[in-house]
Structure 1
Amino acid sequence: MDPKSRAFRYLLLAVTCFLTFGSYYSFDMPSTLETDLRAYFGTPCNYTGLKNSSCVSCAPYVDYCIPMSSENYNVLYLVYAWLNAAMVIPGGMLVDKVGTKICAIIFTTIILVGQSLLSLGVAVRIYGVVIAGRVLFGMGGGSITVVQNAIVSKWFRGNELAVAFGITLTSSRLGSMLNFFFTTTFMHLVEPNGLLKTVIFGAGLCLFSLFCSFLFGILERTADRKGFDPNEAGSVGAKKKRFSPAMIKTFPKSYWILAVVLVTFYNVVFPFIADAPEFIKEKYYDCGSDRTPCNSSVQFDASVISGTPYYFSAVFSPFMGAIVDKFGKRGWMTVVGSCLSLVVFLLAGFTLVSPVVPMIILGLSYTVSAAAIWPSIPLLVQPKAVGTAIGIATSLQMVRENAERKSLYTHVS
């Protein structure tokens, strides 16, 4: 197959999509399995001498126990989030230094080792080992996304760039959605020891992503052997060019403005989505944490409705990317996406319209903005610094998001 052909590029894109599939599936496993994880790592009542009235049923792990504290549970996400934010900038620099082939293998390996260590921690029931696994997982999770975006920027230009970004976003969201809809069902199907088998299954998907990184390397090496010069296809990262951290100083003002837009938009949208289940339960069902408990049906409905922006983006991101590639106007589309988010908050805060309506609009806002913002980064910086530019933008987004979540958590507490 000719490396210059469209078929070769889209074959490579298909393989690239699966580089992050395992990590996106495994990332939110602790959320899907929260009740079981907290029970599994809970303390039996007779160990502390507390009365049974202070305990809950933690079967099948122990008859009665005190579940893992919410603080210890939140550490599973805290260590991931901050390691992720810290590693994406050096990860992006490494991509620009040594290339996407090597970095894809490095980061998918780190992710696999992290998820495997977490599985070991579950097997031996040692909380510290689980945390160590999440630390490693966080070191590779954000960086592999930077690698994926750098690959797309390298192989797709012009009227294919935003579509390719949209396809990778869809594949990532499908991994998250599969976790949400499949994980708990799988755990019950493989009992006994369903929890352990489920986290091992996540490690298996991470192993599949590692396999895809080797397959990607084979495809790129095939292009090299056929004398394909990436510059001829508008590639970024030709071997003759060297990256230097000093290049960050050459990033134009438009890049930094775009990074600020990215940070402000994402850190309005994501915290709202995270808090949406409680908001929906309290406003539309008159139940929740500060009121009467909600039944399981209400909890499920609130969770599904809150995920609407992700479902929307998973389906429509490639189509929105095609619109961006055809008509351009990325700046105006970013403005439109931001204005749509304002409509969402006005509807949700000051009307009694069904919560589905603002969440669908938020999905449209998120899809439009993502399709316009991320493909713009490779257009604003030197080709040999794309990985670093994506890493910086991602890190700024994550640091601000982590600080916002900590502020919200402290306020609620």
Structure 2
Amino acid sequence: MKVNTATFMALYAWYSWPNVVLCFFGGFLIDRVFGIRLGTIIFSCFVCVGQVIFAMGAICNAFWLMEAGRFVFGIGGESLAVAQNAYAVSWFKGKELNLVFGLQLSMARIGSTVNMNIMGWIYSRVQGLLGSTGHRTLGLTLMIGGVTCIFSLICALILAYLDKRAEKILRKEQGKTGEVIKLTDVKDFSLSLWLIFIICVCYYAAVFPFIGLGKVFFIEKFRFSSQEASAINSIVYIISAPMSPLFGFLVDKLGRNIIWVMCAVVVTLASHVMLAFTFWNPWIAMCMLGVAYSLLACALWPMVAFVVPEHQLGTAYGFMQSIQNLGLAIIAIAAGMILDSRGYLFLEVFFSACICLSLIAVVMLYFVNHLTGGDLNWSAKKREKLQKLAAAEKEI
């Protein structure tokens, strides 16, 4: 469609903009307004409609319409994830829940991997049928990709029926997110929590935008074919699919969350430096990035629950997702502008700088946690022992 990189990356930003606000209110809408069943169906419809608008924008060669489609898609996407988590919490408890969340993440990564590797093939087949390239071929390809969104909506309808049926048979309440959104809680957030937010924003800012631009990077720097570039660009998600549940189990058993996060950030920094300044086989760096990305997700997000009272968890996680989406929107646009004006070397230096900020925040978190007597770096055995003592004291 003859757009520059900055304009292309704006499509990622348009997905993130609505979620700067909606991350706060997605749980509230499901709990208090729609209910989990209707909420899931409504947000699935937003995803379907957004994808259709996005594809129609390509068919009509109207980039503004594609941006509108991404915005609508974003309204449904993140809130649908909240609804999915609410279903999981409603149906599974305890150790089962950890496995379910791990499998959810794995399935999402499998979907991303399939998308990266198959959409190019579909485009070539549509091109063969139409006998030409261009925006119409792209639009039809995106419309075919939208079939998965329709399948998601069908699953939401089936799940609503099954949940309604179980509610009658088991006499169980409809699932809720459990989130209580109070913006006034933000003023009570500890320094440790703010450092966790900084780690989250700076780390993911150097991962997701890089993957968005990675295919062309591997074609230009390493002279890969389009298919080879798609394969190596998707390896992060391929590794994440099986490793996320395994790392989740490992962190649960060993504890020491800050150390694991620090290891993940250091390995990610090493992978970006390798990609920026060497011509070593990029499969090495991308495999390192995949392992580190999986480890960080399993060690970082649970730490919020260790530093925030239970009644503030909804606000804390909502705020964390909100500033993550804000950071991704801004960084996506900045990355496109840097690539257009300076090239891939400067872009990799920029991503490395983001990871360095994340590393500084991890080191600060380690010392703040140590000086305040926090439990973020306790072993799992110590944490379990103290939790049992606390529970015993409450009973007394």
- TM-score where L is the length of structure 1: 0.67
Alignment counterpart, residue 119 of structure 2, candidates 183, 186, 208: 183
Contact 1:331 1:372 in 2 (8 A): yes
- Decide which structure has greater helix share: 2
| Matching of residue 314 in structure 1 with residue 249 in structure 2 | no
Alignment counterpart, residue 134 of structure 1, candidates 60, 63, 70: 70
Quote the offset at 1:255 in angstroms.
Answer: 3.9
| Matching of residue 262 in structure 1 with residue 200 in structure 2 | yes
Say if 1:142 and 1:243 are closer, same or farther in 2 by CA, change over 3 A: closer
Alignment counterpart, residue 200 of structure 1, candidates 137, 143, 148: 143
Quote the offset at 1:262 in angstroms.
Answer: 1.5
| 2:171 aligned partner | 227
Specify the SS of the correspondent of 2:260: helix
Contact 2:12 2:329 in 1 (8 A): no
CA distance in structure 1 between the aligned counterparts of 2:81 and 2:191, rounded to whole angstroms: 24
CA distance in structure 2 between the aligned counterparts of 1:140 and 1:336, rounded to whole angstroms: 34
Quote the offset at 1:126 in angstroms.
Answer: 4.4
Quote the offset at 1:371 in angstroms.
Answer: 1.6
| 2:155 aligned partner | 212
| Matching of residue 400 in structure 1 with residue 327 in structure 2 | yes
CA distance in structure 1 between the aligned counterparts of 2:63 and 2:173, rounded to whole angstroms: 49
| 1:76 aligned partner | 11
Contact 2:117 2:230 in 1 (8 A): no
Quote the offset at 1:365 in angstroms.
Answer: 0.6
Specify the SS of the correspondent of 1:358: helix
Say if 1:245 and 1:219 are closer, same or farther in 2 by CA, change over 3 A: farther
Is the deviation greater in 126-135 or in 352-361?
126-135
Taking only aligned residues, the RMSD between alpha carbons, in angstroms, comes to: 3.4
Say if 1:229 and 1:325 are closer, same or farther in 2 by CA, change over 3 A: farther
Say if 1:326 and 1:307 are closer, same or farther in 2 by CA, change over 3 A: same
Say if 1:144 and 1:251 are closer, same or farther in 2 by CA, change over 3 A: farther
Contact 1:166 1:320 in 2 (8 A): no
Residue type of the partner of 1:160? E
Summarize deviations over 1:140-164 as a string: whole Å, max 9, x none: 2222223334444555454334432
Contact 2:82 2:177 in 1 (8 A): no
Summarize deviations over 1:182-207 as a string: whole Å, max 9, x none: 22323444534754443332333212
Alignment counterpart, residue 288 of structure 2, candidates 350, 358, 361: 361
| Matching of residue 334 in structure 1 with residue 261 in structure 2 | yes
Contact 2:6 2:334 in 1 (8 A): no
Contact 2:235 2:290 in 1 (8 A): yes
Contact 1:110 1:140 in 2 (8 A): yes
Summarize deviations over 1:268-322 as a string: whole Å, max 9, x none: 3334444545655565x4xxxxxxxx5xx44543443233212211232222223
Contact 2:209 2:328 in 1 (8 A): yes
Summarize deviations over 1:354-381 as a string: whole Å, max 9, x none: 2211211111110111122234445655
Residue type of the partner of 1:168? Q
Quote the offset at 1:353 in angstroms.
Answer: 3.6
Summarize deviations over 1:361-409 as a string: whole Å, max 9, x none: 1111101111222344456556666554333212211211222233333
| Matching of residue 325 in structure 1 with residue 242 in structure 2 | no
Specify the SS of the correspondent of 2:172: coil
Quote the offset at 1:335 in angstroms.
Answer: 2.4
| 1:410 aligned partner | 337
| 1:104 aligned partner | 40
Is the deviation greater in 322-331 or in 358-367?
322-331
CA distance in structure 2 between the aligned counterparts of 1:209 and 1:249, rounded to whole angstroms: 38
| 1:29 aligned partner | none
Unaligned residue ranges in structure 2 (runs of 5+): 131-135, 342-396
Contact 1:84 1:140 in 2 (8 A): no
Specify the SS of the correspondent of 2:301: helix
Say if 1:132 and 1:242 are closer, same or farther in 2 by CA, change over 3 A: closer
| Matching of residue 116 in structure 1 with residue 43 in structure 2 | no
Contact 1:324 1:330 in 2 (8 A): yes
CA distance in structure 1 between the aligned counterparts of 2:335 and 2:65, rounded to whole angstroms: 28
CA distance in structure 2 between the aligned counterparts of 1:69 and 1:332, rounded to whole angstroms: 40
Say if 1:137 and 1:300 are closer, same or farther in 2 by CA, change over 3 A: same
- TM-score where L is the length of structure 2: 0.70
CA distance in structure 2 between the aligned counterparts of 1:332 and 1:247, rounded to whole angstroms: 28
Residue type of the partner of 1:216? L
| Matching of residue 343 in structure 1 with residue 270 in structure 2 | yes
Residue type of the partner of 2:289? L
Summarize deviations over 1:161-184 as a string: whole Å, max 9, x none: 443222111111222222222223
Residue type of the partner of 1:209? S
Say if 1:229 and 1:188 are closer, same or farther in 2 by CA, change over 3 A: same
CA distance in structure 2 between the aligned counterparts of 1:198 and 1:280, rounded to whole angstroms: 23
